Amino acid sequence: MASVALSERIPNNVNLSDHRRLQRALEAWQPGFLDWWKEMGPVDNQTKEVYLRTAVSVDRKGWANFGFTRMPDYRWGIFLAEPEPDRRIAFGQHRGEPVWQEVPGEYRAALRRLIVIQGDTEPASVEQQRRLGATCPSLYDLRNLFQVNVEESRHLWAMVYLLHAYFGRDGREEADTMLARRSGDQDRPRLLGAFNEPTPNWLAYYMFTFFTDRDGKYQLSSMVDSGFDPLARTCRFMLTEEAHHMFIGITGLTRVLQRTCELMREHDTDDVRRFGAIDLATFQKHLNFHFSVTIDLFGAELSSNAASNYTMGLKSRFRETHIDDDHELSHATYPLLHCRDGRFENQDEPALNALNERLRNDYIAEVEDGLARLNRTIASHDIDVTLRLPHRGFNRKIGEYAQLHISPEGKLISASEWDSRAADWLPTDADREYLRSIMSQAVIEPGQFAGWIAPPARGINDQPIDFEYVRFD
């Protein structure tokens, strides 16, 4: 394994200095990245010192070094996990063969597409969250937001490295294009729908980190077994950082509910908006929206592209090596929920074509576990309300449910009934305006928190909760 070159212009553990042409190409891309960061990174927070975690190596001791850093000075770099000796492809038609250190020519286009789609999501989330600092509920939360922003940007670097190192001119052009697209831009949108949705407030941000960053975990996990070893090693290290993003989501939502329930009990009312908090109905509507938008990211229920990527050995199932089957799926089937004649029923489909749905099911099972934790917070206050995930067909824009109107409970309804009831199920302009009103100012005094969220149970890296996580001097 190469040593970590932290002093280089681009910190890395891939022996970049031994590959001068590649090094020059990435150094030529770097100014464009910095321009993108200055234009689309966190608004009005470029000069502040932030207590950030920075990777200096890929082992347990080195990936989380804490210290104060101005975000434009953050040591973005290229880090691949340690190689596994004699690693073999675990699935598909090449199962048992040595993993590839170079791109197989026949799989070049498919592999490049996977890398571009993953890479495009990373700057998109930074763009979606760039204005949240102006309304942060505490310095603790502001610091966590900035940690996510710099790590998502480093994940962009990881994908750009692969494009530059293994895909020649096409890869360089794709890397440039990722800096040109903009989240929500009608002319230059990001590639996936969820990454063009606005993140206008902190409730949406916590939902994003709970739901959408968890999708990131599952997409990365399906590539850690890739037959293309550089991609597998890159994703393995990215997963280390992705865990913190999901931590922000579950703890943020738990803290919102904690404060809501405290006020409900204190004032014996469901209407906590009178006290500047987020009522459970509004919370449920945001949950409905973010869940439905995120499960669209897994793609259509039946997909020939997913089948091809699996057969080629590029993208696996979740925890592929822990599944007890032949890992080829040539004759296997998988149950898939269809809507037929107004009824939902399972029907066996070729397992290869249903890989998106299997990954979505694995994801939903983990989300259900997180939702159970949120419901325990409500139950601990003796409040008889249960948050629920909507039906998988609710509010879908991709796949076989895209043309249907389905209630959160899973009832097939008419277009007119959907139009009349959508405001009961999804956030409205009035809901967003209320959230804007209670999140109109930033709380930046150490140890202070906005009235709509409870403090965390502990600080970052064993620091006290009232630590000055972001310096405004």
pLDDT band for 1, please (50, 70, 90 cuts): very low
Nearest to 252 by CA among 435, 128, 377: 377
Mean pLDDT of 140-165: 97
- Within 11-138, where are the H helices? 20-40, 108-128
| pLDDT tens readout for residues 162-205 | 999 999 999 999 999 999 999 999 999 999 999 999 999 999 99
In the chain, where are the structural domains located? 16-299+358-383+427-471
| pLDDT tens readout for residues 198-232 | 999 999 999 999 999 999 999 999 999 999 999 99
DSSP helix/strand/coil, 65: strand
| pLDDT tens readout for residues 361-379 | 999 999 999 999 999 999 9
Q: Which residues of 82-103 are buried (b: 16+ CB within 10 A; e: fewer)?
A: eeeeeeebbbbebeeeebbeeb
pLDDT band for 134, please (50, 70, 90 cuts): very high
What type of residue sits at position 269?
Answer: T
Whole-structure pTM over 0.85, yes or no? yes
Assess contact for 264 and 272: CB atoms under 8 A.
yes
Assess contact for 91 and 316: CB atoms under 8 A.
yes
Dmax (CA) of the chain? 68
CATH architecture of 16-299+358-383+427-471: Orthogonal Bundle (1.10)
Rounded CA-CA distance 40/26 in Å is 20
Q: For the chain, what is the mean pLDDT?
A: 96
